[in-house]
Chain A
Amino acid sequence: MDKFTEKLESLLGPLVEKINSNRYINAIKDGFFGAMSLLIIGSFFALLANIPITGYAAFMTSIFGKGWSDFFNVPFNISMNIMTLYVVISMARSLGKTYKLNSIECITSALAGFLVLTPQLALKGASGLTGIPTENLSSKGLFVGMITAVLAVEIVRFFENRGWKIKMPDSVPANVATSFSSLIPTLMVIIIFNIIRAVFTLTSFDTVQTLIYHYLQIPLQSLGSSLPAILLLTVFEVLLWSVGIHGSSIVGNVMFPIWITATAENAKAYAAGQPLPHIFVNEFYSNFMKIGGFGATLGLAILLFFFAKSKQYKVLGRLALAPGIFQINEPLIFGMPIMLNPVMLIPFLITPIVMALMTYVAMATGIVPYANGTMLPWTTPPVVSGFLLSGWRGAALNVVQIFVSMAIYYPFFKVQDNIEFQKEQGQAEAEAKEA
């Protein structure tokens, strides 16, 4: 086992380091991180506009009049429904920072570049008025946005580094000089993106948005959100955690843009009262599979809390249950430990797979509704999260899942607890003899 894990560690370590220190992956991660609170808030407004209780809509209309739902729809529309704008801003800032570039220059250039690529349409019936389709600013434009942000900041960097900017004589005050010096990089961003836009109008795609959406975003989405992909990623995450590496942050960071698009599309459909398109959204992974943290360890935390015989695990149970309710399980992974522990790694692998299959079957057969696109902080306790995502049937699914998690972990917990108990007994006896 030792040799095997050593090999695994030396194999995974550099890979993880590479992924984690990748400038672009980090910029994407920070991009979403920065926009997160706004997206969470926005998605809750969609939930409030569409509480699935019979008579809710009629009740609200009777009190607040016909326009009541606008009170919830407007905040949703200007937040989650145009999420790409915020992600572009946040990503450009983060990437610019890693190059030590001026933040505002990066943000304005990236945003301008993105809007250059976004079509402008004349509004029917209103002469001279044009509009930008919000659809292109929603999750549909997310990949264009991410690519634009990276490209725009790289262009700014290219010109800043070469010093091709307007230089002012020393007598000009510094602030005045910077206002000129950023002109060239930003101008170049606009020129380059405008050329790209112009070239695309000659092709059958018409806009870059169409090409990227159909030929990059949709294929990646259907590949990354399929059941086999989810199971494979789960196994990979177990491998990482098994040698003590934070697997969730690695898998999550890479997959998040793909999964969150599905969440946003469900939210959009939900807000519009249409059938939800995706069974697999980000919350499927973070809230229906990770009951109590990765490995669905809430059942194990409960077992330790109520049934541990050994002193060590009684202490651990008291320590691990409260964080476990909030989806944090480092005490179990490192304290029990689960990592590098062949006994506990077996249920640690089986349980999340069973959770995934249970959720999938329950949703595919229609027993439990698909997650409605609400974005939840990953620390939302199970049952509460199930309720917010899929109504009372979602909550019920979570309850069943907790019991299943307990059942799977039980025999392994017993073995482990016994080993520890025997050890403690042996120690106590040895001490008694010495005394």
Chain B
Amino acid sequence: MKKVMLICSGGMSTSLLASKVKKLAEEKGLDLDIFAIAAQETDEELEKQKLDLILLGPQIAFMKKQIQGKVADTGIPIDSIDRISYGMMDAKKVLEQIQGYFK
């Protein structure tokens, strides 16, 4: 099971996306756990969870460096979600992006 954490400012709009991607992954029979959190919860979640990938909403892409510093020793990849696929809540494209890290 691969664990993917999506982060955005309030955790609201990424949770929209997360539930869509999760549904699509289930339909495809992929072993993925995808969930969304608010930026403020990052530290706590990093302590609690063993993650395989962190994706940021494009609106907080500027936090990439900051969060990267926190997970540097774990080697968890971290990236931001493509703007248009984020806006269109394009689960297919985002899932493709996610799978790209697990090849």
Binding site for B on A (CB under 8 A): 13, 16-17, 20-21, 29-30, 33, 97, 241, 244-246, 248-249, 315-316, 319, 323, 326, 328, 330-337, 339, 378-379
A-side contacts of B16, CB under 8 Å: 323, 328, 331
Closest to B86 in A: A334
A17 touches B66 (CB 8 A): yes
Pull 7 A–B residue pairs with CB atoms less than 8 Å apart, ordered by A: A16-B62, A20-B62, A244-B59, A246-B57, A319-B88, A330-B13, A330-B87
B62 touches A17 (CB 8 A): yes
Q: How far is the CA of A379 from the CA of B13 in the complex (A)?
A: 11
With contact pairs A244-B59, A330-B86, A335-B89 given, residues A97 and B43 touching in the complex (Cβ less than 8 Å): yes
B60 touches A249 (CB 8 A): yes
A246 touches B40 (CB 8 A): no
A337 touches B43 (CB 8 A): no
Instruction: Choose one: B12, B66, B83; the contact of A337 (CB below 8 Å).
Output: B83
Q: How far is the CA of A339 from the CA of B87 in the complex (A)?
A: 11
B-side contacts of A249, CB under 8 Å: 9-10, 39, 60
**B53 contacts the other chain (CB 8 A):** no
**B92 contacts the other chain (CB 8 A):** no
Q: How far is the CA of A13 from the CA of B59 in the complex (A)?
A: 11
B-side contacts of A378, CB under 8 Å: 10
Instruction: Choose one: A246, A315, A335, A379; the contact of B59 (CB below 8 Å).
Output: A246
Instruction: Choose one: A29, A315, A326; the contact of B40 (CB below 8 Å).
Output: A29
Q: How far is the CA of A316 from the CA of B16 in the complex (A)?
A: 14
Q: Quick one: which of B71-103 are within 8 Å of A by CB?
A: 83-84, 86-89
Q: How far is the CA of A331 from the CA of B81 in the complex (A)?
A: 13
Instruction: Choose one: B13, B43, B63, B65; the contact of A323 (CB below 8 Å).
Output: B13
**B61 contacts the other chain (CB 8 A):** yes
B9 touches A331 (CB 8 A): no
B-side contacts of A328, CB under 8 Å: 12-13, 16
Mask for B29-65, Cβ within 8 A of A = 1, else 0?
Answer: 0000000000110010000000000000111111101
User: From residue A175, how far is it (CB to closest CB) to chain B in Å?
Assistant: 22
A248 touches B89 (CB 8 A): no
B12 touches A13 (CB 8 A): no
B87 touches A245 (CB 8 A): no
A-side contacts of B84, CB under 8 Å: 334-335, 337
User: From residue A9, how far is it (CB to closest CB) to chain B in Å?
Assistant: 9
Q: How far is the CA of A244 from the CA of B8 in the complex (A)?
A: 13
A-side contacts of B60, CB under 8 Å: 245-246, 249
Closest to A252 in B: B9
Closest to A326 in B: B12
With contact pairs A97-B43, A246-B9, A337-B83 given, residues A331 and B89 touching in the complex (Cβ less than 8 Å): yes
B-side contacts of A330, CB under 8 Å: 8, 13, 57, 59, 86-87
A-side contacts of B9, CB under 8 Å: 246, 248-249
Which of the listed residues A241, A316, A334 has the most CB atoms from chain B within 10 Å of its own CB?
A334
Which of the listed residues B12, B66, B88 has the most CB atoms from chain A within 10 Å of its own CB?
B88
A-side contacts of B57, CB under 8 Å: 246, 330
A335 touches B88 (CB 8 A): yes
Instruction: Choose one: B40, B87, B89; the contact of A336 (CB below 8 Å).
Output: B87
A-side contacts of B62, CB under 8 Å: 13, 16-17, 20, 245
B39 touches A334 (CB 8 A): no
Q: How far is the CA of A326 from the CA of B16 in the complex (A)?
A: 12
User: From residue B72, how far is it (CB to closest CB) to chain A in Å?
Assistant: 15
Q: How far is the CA of A319 from the CA of B89 in the complex (A)?
A: 8
Closest 4 CB pairs of A and B: A335-B87, A334-B87, A246-B59, A330-B13
Q: How far is the CA of A332 from the CA of B88 in the complex (A)?
A: 8
Q: How far is the CA of A33 from the CA of B10 in the complex (A)?
A: 11
With contact pairs A315-B88, A319-B88, A337-B87 given, residues A244 and B13 touching in the complex (Cβ less than 8 Å): no
B87 touches A333 (CB 8 A): yes
B88 touches A331 (CB 8 A): yes
User: From residue B24, how far is it (CB to closest CB) to chain A in Å?
Assistant: 15
B65 touches A245 (CB 8 A): no
B58 touches A334 (CB 8 A): yes
Q: How far is the CA of A94 from the CA of B84 in the complex (A)?
A: 35
Q: How far is the CA of A13 from the CA of B43 in the complex (A)?
A: 22
User: From residue A4, how far is it (CB to closest CB) to chain B in Å?
Assistant: 18
A-side contacts of B59, CB under 8 Å: 241, 244-246, 330, 333-334
With contact pairs A17-B65, A328-B12, A328-B13 given, residues A30 and B87 touching in the complex (Cβ less than 8 Å): no
Closest to A336 in B: B87
Q: How far is the CA of A173 from the CA of B60 in the complex (A)?
A: 46
With contact pairs A20-B66, A33-B40 given, residues A244 and B12 touching in the complex (Cβ less than 8 Å): no
Closest to A244 in B: B58
